[in-house]
């Protein structure tokens, strides 16, 4: 079957006329790149790319997307000229649409033109990132993890001819250095990952990298000079992203083939809902995202805290407890009244009291909508997908809530249940009905080693609480928190 591409796109125009398919309203071949995006996975394609496409006017805000290690996306989108279909599933879904705003697809490790040279280009005014929590190489204190072998390699070989940085932060700093040398002017770097204060976090990591650059005899303070230039010319807006985008399945690709009459290896599936709250602090302009429904504000912090602690916190609780109970998808878990009730309690009793929202924000309505979105049966969002990278996600979406509640003298019962379910997921590695549960986590080896040979609840809890990358000292030694965990682990193991 013929592949979706710039050449076959005109064949779809008739269908678009009938309203059962949308195609770009502009000529993708004419759009030039203004944004470099690192991490061009399904989430970016279903979220930021769509917002950007929806507000294109006569400015060049085409996207050059980089993948990191895997070249799968290059194989999927390269032959398609960057085109792909977005398929919404669930109540209120819009017709499928072909998205054309992604104009270049490159591999950070294999392409002739790496991220550093691409972002130094004068036409590029914005760099966006969805590289997941682990892509930042931050330590538990949010600072650059200088013990990370990738970070060490990037620092040591930074200025060597032809060296290609392997970490995202190394790539950004190398690009900023080139941009400074070529005098190509200001730039904004915007994280779109689920981190706390993601703009501030990214800025700190970039400056940490500069500060750690080894000095050269002929350039004694190159890190300090670069940091000074970054302070003056580069902004780091924070942003809160929200849309449920499960990994694309073979069945989704088959659906795309049926819908388009063409093969689309790059199709992405998403819920109808999408939200983007952006700190309006751009050093070199930005697309008019507000015309596509984004909220531009001076302070994203309240929205960020609400999203991470309510939605992502509840998501993780459902993922770990649900996977242990033998459920395949998040929708199946929320159909279980007991587990849905636990998610509801986590939001209402543990997380909500830690939030201070703008007066017009409907906190109760938000919690209801979160559970409704999770219940979308058409998404097939797998529990093990949400369960991945727990060591990176827990501190952000659950432990911050626990810390705030403990400080207020309260017992974070439901957060402790979520954390305990993660511990049992790690320690037992199988569901209640004996099916293996994949431990997909950058710390997997350390986690497994920690719990190996331990079966008593207190032993499991203490072994995992001792992992400083996950639990900072204050929580690890908190007797109330530990007791709650042991209690939950004991019941879950039973």
Q: Which is nearer to ligand CS2, 234 or 394 (CB)?
A: 394
Q: Contact with ligand CS2 (CB under 6 A): which of 116, 244, 333, 461? A: 244
Q: Which is nearer to ligand CS2, 97 or 382 (CB)?
A: 382
Please state the closest distance from residue 330 (CB atom) to ligand CS2, in A.
9
Given a contact cutoff of 8 angstroms between Cβ atoms, the answer to whether 193 and 142 are in contact is no
* Stretch of residues binding ligand CS2 (CB under 6 A), selected from 182-190, 239-247, 403-411, 466-474: 239-247
Residues 301-340 that bind ligand CS2 (CB under 6 A): 312, 315
Q: Which is nearer to ligand CS2, 103 or 243 (CB)?
A: 243
Please state the closest distance from residue 385 (CB atom) to ligand CS2, in A.
6
Please state the closest distance from residue 244 (CB atom) to ligand CS2, in A.
4
Residues 198-217 that bind ligand CS2 (CB under 6 A): none
Q: What is the largest CA-CA distance in the chain?
A: 67
Please state the closest distance from residue 137 (CB atom) to ligand CS2, in A.
19
> At 75, which helix (H) or strand (E)?
helix 72-77
- Residue number closest to ligand CS2, CB atom: 315
Instruction: Record the tokens describing residue 160, joined without a space.
Output: 């060597």
Is position 128 an interface residue for ligand CS2 (rule: CB under 6 A)? no
* Stretch of residues binding ligand CS2 (CB under 6 A), selected from 172-180, 238-246, 284-292, 339-347: 238-246
Please state the closest distance from residue 172 (CB atom) to ligand CS2, in A.
23
Name every residue whose Cβ is closer than 8 Å to that of residue 491 and which is 6 or more positions away in sequence: none
Name every residue whose Cβ is closer than 8 Å to that of residue 193 and which is 6 or more positions away in sequence: 129, 130, 131, 132, 133, 135, 136, 241
Q: Which is nearer to ligand CS2, 277 or 386 (CB)?
A: 386
Write each residue from 162 to 201 as x if it is in contact with ligand CS2 (CB under 6 A), else as -, in one continuous string. --------------------------------x-------
Q: Which is nearer to ligand CS2, 88 or 242 (CB)?
A: 242
Q: DSSP 3-state assignment of 318?
A: helix
Calpha distance 473→469 (Å, rounded): 10
Is position 242 an interface residue for ligand CS2 (rule: CB under 6 A)? yes
Given a contact cutoff of 8 angstroms between Cβ atoms, the answer to whether 413 and 484 are in contact is yes
Name every residue whose Cβ is closer than 8 Å to that of residue 247 and which is 6 or more positions away in sequence: 42, 382, 385
Calpha distance 385→401 (Å, rounded): 23
Name every residue whose Cβ is closer than 8 Å to that of residue 218 and which is 6 or more positions away in sequence: none
Q: Which is nearer to ligand CS2, 137 or 243 (CB)?
A: 243
Which pairing describes strands 97-99 and 84-88: parallel, antiparallel, or unpaired?
antiparallel
Calpha distance 38→65 (Å, rounded): 6
Q: DSSP 3-state assignment of 82?
A: coil
Please state the closest distance from residue 299 (CB atom) to ligand CS2, in A.
20
How many residues line the site for ligand CS2 (CB under 6 A)? 9
Is position 243 an interface residue for ligand CS2 (rule: CB under 6 A)? yes
Residues 26-65 that bind ligand CS2 (CB under 6 A): none
**Can you give 424-445 as a three-state secondary structure string?**
HHHHHCECCCCCECCCCCCCHH
Please state the closest distance from residue 492 (CB atom) to ligand CS2, in A.
20
* Stretch of residues binding ligand CS2 (CB under 6 A), selected from 164-172, 183-191, 237-245, 453-461: 237-245
Return the C-alpha torsion angle 191, 193, 194, 198, nearest 10.
-10
Binding site for ligand CS2 (CB under 6 A): 194, 242-244, 312, 315, 385-386, 393
């Amino acid at each position: 079957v013929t592949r979706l591409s710039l050449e076959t796109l005109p064949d779809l125009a008739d269908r678009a006329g009938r309203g059962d398919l949308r195609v770009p309203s502009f000529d993708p071949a004419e759009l030039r790149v203004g944004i470099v995006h690192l991490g061009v996975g399904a989430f970016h394609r279903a979220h930021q790319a769509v917002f950007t496409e929806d507000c294109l006017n006569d400015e060049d805000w085409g996207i050059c997307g980089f993948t990191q290690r895997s070249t799968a996306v290059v194989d999927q989108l390269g032959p398609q000229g960057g085109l792909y279909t977005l398929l919404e599933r669930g109540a209120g879904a819009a017709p499928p649409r072909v998205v054309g705003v992604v104009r270049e697809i490159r591999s950070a490790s294999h392409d002739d033109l790496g991220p550093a040279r691409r972002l130094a280009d004068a036409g590029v005014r914005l760099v966006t990132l969805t590289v997941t929590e682990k892509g930042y190489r931050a330590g538990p204190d949010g600072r650059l993890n200088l013990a990370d072998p990738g970070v060490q390699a990037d620092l040591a070989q930074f200025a060597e001819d032809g060296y290609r940085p392997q970490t995202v932060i190394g790539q950004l700093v190398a690009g900023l250095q080139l941009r400074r040398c070529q005098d190509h002017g200001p730039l904004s770097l915007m994280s779109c990952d689920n981190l706390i204060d993601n703009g501030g976090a990214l800025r700190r990591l970039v400056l940490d990298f500069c500060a750690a650059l080894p000095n050269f005899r002929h350039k004694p303070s190159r890190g300090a000079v670069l940091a000074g230039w970054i302070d003056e010319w580069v902004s780091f807006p924070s942003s809160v992203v929200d849309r449920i985008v499960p990994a694309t399945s073979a069945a989704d690709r088959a659906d795309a083939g049926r819908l388009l009459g063409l093969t689309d290896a790059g199709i992405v599936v998403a819920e109808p809902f999408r939200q983007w709250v952006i700190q309006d602090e751009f050093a070199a302009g930005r697309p008019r995202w507000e015309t596509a429904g984004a909220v531009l504000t001076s302070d994203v912090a309240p929205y960020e805290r609400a999203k991470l602690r309510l939605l992502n916190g509840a998501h993780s609780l459902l993922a770990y407890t649900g996977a242990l109970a033998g459920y395949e998808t998040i929708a199946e878990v929320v159909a279980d009244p007991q587990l849905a009730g636990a998610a509801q309690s986590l939001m209402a009793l543990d997380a909500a009291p830690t939030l201070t929202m703008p007066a017009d924000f409907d906190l109760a309505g938000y919690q209801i909508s979160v559970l409704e979105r999770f219940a979308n049966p058409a998404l097939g969002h797998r529990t093990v997908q949400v369960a991945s990278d727990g060591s990176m996600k827990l501190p952000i979406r659950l432990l911050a809530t626990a810390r705030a509640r403990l400080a207020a003298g309260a017992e974070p019962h439901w957060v402790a249940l979520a954390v305990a379910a993660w511990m049992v997921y790690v320690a037992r590695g199988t569901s209640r009905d004996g099916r293996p549960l994949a431990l997909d986590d950058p710390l997997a080896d350390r986690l497994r080693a920690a719990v190996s040979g331990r079966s008593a609840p207190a032993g499991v809890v203490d072994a995992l609480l001792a992992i400083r990358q996950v639990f900072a000292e204050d929580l690890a030694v908190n007797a109330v928190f530990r007791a709650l965990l042991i209690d939950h682990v004991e019941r879950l193991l039973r």
